[in-house]
Structure 1
Amino acid sequence: MSTRYMKKVYGSDVTLETGNDNTSDTEVSVTSNAKSKSFNVFDVLNSDKEDIDDRQEDEDLITNSTDYNTKRKKKKKHKKLENERIKNQQEHDGECNENIDEIERSIREVNKLLGEPLPGCSTQVLEAQWVDDISKEDILIVQRKHLNPHNELKRIFGSKTIEAGQSKKNKGRPGNLKKTWLIYPEDIYWVSLKKSGLSMSLDLDYSTETTENVLYFVYEHSASYKEIQQKFLQAVESLNPENIISIMNAHSYHIDSLLQVSEMCKLTEDLAHAAEFIKRALYCLECAFHPFFNITTAKCRLDYRKQQNRAFFITLFKHLGFVGGRACYRTSLELCKLLLSLDPEGDPLAVVLCIDFYALKAKEYEWFIKFCNLWEDSRNLTQLPNIVYSLALAHFRLGNKTDADTLLQNALIMFPDVLMLLLEKCSIQTDSKVRFHEFFYSHANTSPALEKLQKLYVMRSFHLWKETGILPWLEECVHTVLNRVESGDDYIKYCQVKRSTRYRGKLPRNILRHIILSDLQEVIVNVQEIQGEDPVLSHDPLPPLDSIDIYKRPTANNRPNSSNFFSLFFSSLFRNINGAAAALNDLNLLEENDDQA
């Protein structure tokens, strides 16, 4: 091949090096001061006569080197593409490195401001730290998928069983019901909601005090709803249940009437209708939500002091009780989180006294431990017997035997009365050393307030201690505690002083409210424990002492002359129990007729 031809094809500066062996060993070296030209076959086709002569002159050489040139061209083209790919990759890597350097520089500046350690560990470690770094409000975020108890029932009993039972109930259901999060279509068997007179708005009293995207809301009552509420309060003062039921017949979505009638059904052991009335009230309350009131964010608040807000707290509390009674513990836990997020610091219904039970029954052990760690500083959760015993159980279930032993021993030392209550409730016979030991057997100095808290925990959670593997562990820790008592452990004396000083006062109003709403037969509130002289009404038990009312409550002149108004109210409420039951039956028939229509 001539030099002129190669210059024409490959460029200007060309050197030809020929080996000593044969033509196939010929190597072509192309160098150029300018950018290399890419080979274009049309340049050859358009060449002049001089190029043709050159090609004719080198015909033999080309013929002999056809295979070599073909392979060489392919190899050269492949090498050129590979070089271009490497060059592009290097440029891309350079840009990425510049971006990474910029990001690292920004991270260092942020870390200096926030006090975070400088990047000295792997990305995985940093990501894990960021995931675990959640706030105490974030731990209360509600998962919407767990709000539907029917999903949990399907997991427990199977979808076919649940769907078969629901298909019979769907025949008379209206089709224009609003979709809600707390009450699902499977729960609704009543007439559709038109205008309830309820609405929700932003609470202007907190407009300048909100921080960290926390919003306060307040329920509003229309003029027509206020008239119904006044009639309801008069019916309550009359102590005649038929008057309340008549309001229910005329106004199917009046919240306080639904709460009161639900309580009547519950006391007559009609739990199915009691739960239905609570669902209806909750459905009506949710239909009135403000567009910004998102129950899953844990950033929406309601002031319990405001009279019109309390119905949502009480309805939600009763609803989670009915849901938990159906063994839907995961759903009940989500409802507890929602209820606590409405006022996490004040906790007007003392949800911390039951949230541990639902967390353990739902097997959310890690969540419960994180919850206690995050809220311990602001709420002193470990001062409650239910929390310390449940924490020990949670660690034991996770396999943290060492931590579980320590926590359970400390719980037994701090609240020793719980042990004997547990053994009695679980019908467990223990050895004589434990049964008659002074430390566990006799605690005459236990205050009534602490005694009630301990009994409340045992009556609600004793089933947890009867599960497999728990009792041997409990027995082991009990004997370890007795050895510490006999050895004169200083922690024993510290807890004795702590019990004698911290639990001497009366129970807080929110705990009394929790006990009343929980309605456990073994744990009741005495009239002497009620602070103030307000009547205890099932639709609004023990309102706050600084209550902000839009309706006047019954005055002292309107109340019956009795020091035991609490007992008098409930006994008078059902003095005509047959008439009340008949009225409830009429109401049920009326609802069935409405559904069929």
Structure 2
Amino acid sequence: MSTRYMKKVYGGDVGLENNNENLSDTEIPITGVKPKQFNVFDLLNQNSENEAKDDDDEGESENPVIDTTVSEVSKRKKKKKKKHKKLDSSRVQQSSRRSSENNEEVDEIERTVREVNKLLGEPTPGCSQDIVVNELAMVPKAKENTLTIQHKHLNTFNELKRIFGTKTIQAEQSKRRDRDRVGHLKKTWLISARHNWPPIGKSGISMSIDQSIEYKGNVQYFVFEHNSTYIHIQKKFLQVVESMDPQNIIKIVNAHPYHVDGLLQLSELCKMSEDLAMAAELVERALYSLECAFHPLFNITTATCRLDYKKQQNRAFFITLFKHLLFVGGRACYRTSLELCKLLLSLDPEGDPLAIILALDLYALRGREYTWFVEFCETWESTRNLTQLPNMAYGLALCHFHLGNKEAAEELLQNALIMFPGVLIPLLDKCSVQTDSRVLGHDFFNSKAAATTPPALEKLQTLYVYRSYHLWKETDILSWLEAQVHIVLNRVDSEDDYVKYCTAKRSKRYQGKLPMNIARHIILSDIKEVTFNVQEMQNGGSILSHDPLPPTDSIDLYSRPTPPPRTNHNNSNLFSLFFSSLFMDLDGDVAIAAANGFNLFDENARNDDHD
């Protein structure tokens, strides 16, 4: 051991004798020395090269073997450094060779480009880059991208946790854990199956790829299929519906707990009797049954899977999904409802058989998805004329207001007020706002608005007011609305050309009877303040809870049985008449509580500003 380390161990040269030959390997005489405090691990931190250097300088190496090993280690390190230098030099040579080869390839490419330019003509400087940039800017975003779904937002419990916290849904989570221990329920995306549900087994419903429809791009069509057992149950169900006996519906559901149409019909009965919890659970069970039948390629998050609404067996999924999102929205889970709206629209975006576009703005604003809603309107406006619907026009202005786009929000709100003036007065009444004297005295928002608004458009406006008036009750929004109303009145008084244009367009568009998809939306939405008569519908059809207003070109798997002779209901009580109305067609001037908007895909709506 070197004297340097000996000094560190023993605190100085007091205990060291000059004659090293008298020291034995096992015994070192030390007298009157107090050791110094030190850290033993400091010995490991010393550099071996410095150690060898110190040993050479002092010339007092007690162990020659250690000195030789240290010198060998230092030599090895030097050899490694030399090897690394050689490798680095070889790498530099290889990189230089590669760069030269790449330069040769670039030269060949330049030669070919020059030859092509000689044949076709020399382009202007920067022309190719500008063309590429312009082409990328002109490529529109795929419409399906705006309808893609995030799986985490399909679960209602995730949103409830964010809103109310974990403790609020602790009891429900315990039920889910019990359900998971049962083990006979499948795990699905749309519905969290409950522990008290029976095992689904073979429900009789399956899904396959629809070979009867041509595919366009990456879009793929699917179709639900029923086996022989389910067909037998469905025919029996249709006979029960014609018999107008609610007890028979309950018997079918008890015998076949996953029969979809039976669950939907029974859900309506529970809803009318104000048992909303049971009504929602029956709809969830119906949706769970349909989801368990999904094809492996039927991915609901991609927005590229389609279902043909004309096919009778597909319509149950549309209707069940619509009713489910209404119940979810009733629980203040607006973000989940928005995802369900996107899913429902992605199944048939061209036809939108349930006119879900009329509810899309509500859930986007409630869920605070302002940026997504603006992007959706920009993507679909050119082909669907979204701003020609009152809910989309006013909703888009609100989104820009929340995003802080002041100029865009003001322009959009003024355009909405000019195009749909009949919205203002009912909206202020629902918000319990005292209307300004100037607004009340001006005929633009009163008599003139009523005279120039067709009945179909009036339904849309009334639906929007009663569904979305809560969005306008904030103080800053009402003050902003008041300012824009006065600006619009100034434009009206100055005989603005845009005001004349909107008045003429409003009188020509929205004419005729309500389209069937809007009527379906009204029936399923069940908003009591908005009603319509059967005569107001286009191509009126049968109104049944499990399949309201089937398309005129419907591809039916089941033929409707002949109803039995109707007895005289004059002697019947009101209770029996109430339940009978759930199963039979409605004739004459029977008012149906519900409401929804205008058919976005109607021929009148397709005509843009070409009139």
Query: Given residue 351 of structure 2, which amino acid in structure 1 is its aligned partner?
Result: G
Q: Residues 498 and 575 from structure 1, CA distance in 2 versus in 1: closer, same or farther, beyond 3 angstroms? A: closer
Report deviation, 1:77: 7.8
Q: Write the mapping of 1:202-241 to structure 2, written as runs, cut at 5 A.
A: 202-206=209-213, 209-241=214-246
Q: Would the aligned equivalents of 1:385 and 1:454 in 2 still touch at CA under 8 Å?
A: yes
Deviations 1:38-84 (A, max 9, x none): xxxxxxxxxxxxxxxxxxxxxxxxxxxxxxxxxx9999988766544
Q: Secondary structure, in 3 states, of the residue corresponding to 1:444?
A: helix
Q: Write the mapping of 1:133-532 to structure 2, written as runs, cut at 5 A.
A: 133-168=140-175, 170-171=177-178, 174-185=182-193, 187=194, 189-206=196-213, 209-442=214-447, 443-445=449-451, 446-532=453-539
Q: Residues 78 and 539 from structure 1, CA distance in 2 versus in 1: closer, same or farther, beyond 3 angstroms? A: closer
Q: Residues 500 and 274 from structure 1, CA distance in 2 versus in 1: closer, same or farther, beyond 3 angstroms? A: same
Report deviation, 1:545: 1.1
Q: Secondary structure, in 3 states, of the residue corresponding to 1:137?
A: helix
Provide the rounded CA distance (Å) in 1 between the counterparts of 2:191 and 2:288.
6
Report deviation, 1:444: 3.1
Q: Secondary structure, in 3 states, of the residue corresponding to 1:275?
A: helix
Provide the rounded CA distance (Å) in 1 between the counterparts of 2:109 and 2:480.
52
Report deviation, 1:138: 1.8
Q: Would the aligned equivalents of 1:304 and 1:348 in 2 still touch at CA under 8 Å?
A: yes
Deviations 1:72-112 (A, max 9, x none): 99999887665445444445656777899999999xx9xx9
Report deviation, 1:184: 2.2
Q: Residues 78 and 251 from structure 1, CA distance in 2 versus in 1: closer, same or farther, beyond 3 angstroms? A: closer
Provide the rounded CA distance (Å) in 2 between the counterparts of 1:330 and 1:350.
19
Report deviation, 1:486: 0.6
Q: Write the mapping of 1:13-24 to structure 2, written as runs, cut at 5 A.
A: none
Provide the rounded CA distance (Å) in 1 between the counterparts of 2:286 and 2:248.
19
Provide the rounded CA distance (Å) in 2 between the counterparts of 1:234 and 1:175.
36
Higher mean C-alpha displacement, 214-223 vs 349-358: 214-223
Query: Given residue 326 of structure 2, which amino acid in structure 1 is its aligned partner?
Result: G
Q: Residues 453 and 512 from structure 1, CA distance in 2 versus in 1: closer, same or farther, beyond 3 angstroms? A: same
Higher mean C-alpha displacement, 191-200 vs 155-164: 155-164
Q: Residues 417 and 570 from structure 1, CA distance in 2 versus in 1: closer, same or farther, beyond 3 angstroms? A: farther
Sequence identity of aligned pairs in percent? 63
Report deviation, 1:420: 0.8
Report deviation, 1:155: 0.9
Provide the rounded CA distance (Å) in 2 between the counterparts of 1:150 and 1:84.
62
Provide the rounded CA distance (Å) in 1 between the counterparts of 2:111 and 2:259.
60
Provide the rounded CA distance (Å) in 2 between the counterparts of 1:464 and 1:313.
27
Q: Write the mapping of 1:533-544 to structure 2, written as runs, cut at 5 A.
A: 534-544=541-551
Provide the rounded CA distance (Å) in 1 between the counterparts of 2:108 and 2:189.
44
Provide the rounded CA distance (Å) in 2 between the counterparts of 1:492 and 1:444.
15
Higher mean C-alpha displacement, 368-377 vs 493-502: 368-377
Q: Would the aligned equivalents of 1:239 and 1:569 in 2 still touch at CA under 8 Å?
A: no
Deviations 1:167-192 (A, max 9, x none): 1565467321111111124x554111
Query: Given residue 181 of structure 1, which amino acid in structure 2 is its aligned partner?
Result: W
Query: Given residue 480 of structure 1, which amino acid in structure 2 is its aligned partner?
Result: I
Q: Residues 346 and 555 from structure 1, CA distance in 2 versus in 1: closer, same or farther, beyond 3 angstroms? A: farther
Report deviation, 1:327: 1.1
Tell me the C-alpha RMSD between the 2 structures: 3.6
Higher mean C-alpha displacement, 231-240 vs 486-495: 231-240
Unaligned runs of 5+ in 2: 1-77, 121-125, 584-611
Unaligned runs of 5+ in 1: 1-71, 577-597
Which residue in 1 is equivalent to 2:9?
A: none
Which residue in 1 is equivalent to 2:123?
A: none
The alignment of Structure 1 onto Structure 2 pairs a total of residues equal to 491
Which residue in 2 is equivalent to 1:120?
A: 129
Q: Secondary structure, in 3 states, of the residue corresponding to 1:218?
A: strand
Deviations 1:248-293 (A, max 9, x none): 1111011000000111111111111111001100000011111211
Query: Given residue 162 of structure 1, which amino acid in structure 2 is its aligned partner?
Result: I
Query: Given residue 535 of structure 1, which amino acid in structure 2 is its aligned partner?
Result: S
Q: Secondary structure, in 3 states, of the residue corresponding to 1:539?
A: coil
Q: Would the aligned equivalents of 1:199 and 1:220 in 2 still touch at CA under 8 Å?
A: yes
Q: Residues 546 and 559 from structure 1, CA distance in 2 versus in 1: closer, same or farther, beyond 3 angstroms? A: farther
Query: Given residue 552 of structure 1, which amino acid in structure 2 is its aligned partner?
Result: S
Report deviation, 1:535: 2.7
Deviations 1:558-589 (A, max 9, x none): 66799xxxx9997243899xxxxxxxxxxxxx
Provide the rounded CA distance (Å) in 1 between the counterparts of 2:577 and 2:143.
40
Query: Given residue 217 of structure 2, which amino acid in structure 1 is its aligned partner?
Result: E
Provide the rounded CA distance (Å) in 2 between the counterparts of 1:97 and 1:358.
58
Provide the rounded CA distance (Å) in 2 between the counterparts of 1:165 and 1:492.
54
Q: Secondary structure, in 3 states, of the residue corresponding to 2:223?
A: strand
Report deviation, 1:373: 1.6
Query: Given residue 489 of structure 2, which amino acid in structure 1 is its aligned partner?
Result: L
Q: Residues 267 and 291 from structure 1, CA distance in 2 versus in 1: closer, same or farther, beyond 3 angstroms? A: same
Query: Given residue 212 of structure 1, which amino acid in structure 2 is its aligned partner?
Result: G
Report deviation, 1:240: 1.3
Q: Secondary structure, in 3 states, of the residue corresponding to 1:440?
A: coil
Report deviation, 1:435: 2.0
Q: Secondary structure, in 3 states, of the residue corresponding to 2:532?
A: coil
Provide the rounded CA distance (Å) in 1 between the counterparts of 2:137 and 2:150.
22
Higher mean C-alpha displacement, 166-175 vs 517-526: 166-175
Deviations 1:361-410 (A, max 9, x none): 11111111111122122222111100111111111111111111100000
Q: Would the aligned equivalents of 2:397 and 2:413 in 1 still touch at CA under 8 Å?
A: yes
Provide the rounded CA distance (Å) in 2 between the counterparts of 1:137 and 1:97.
44
Which residue in 1 is equivalent to 2:58?
A: none
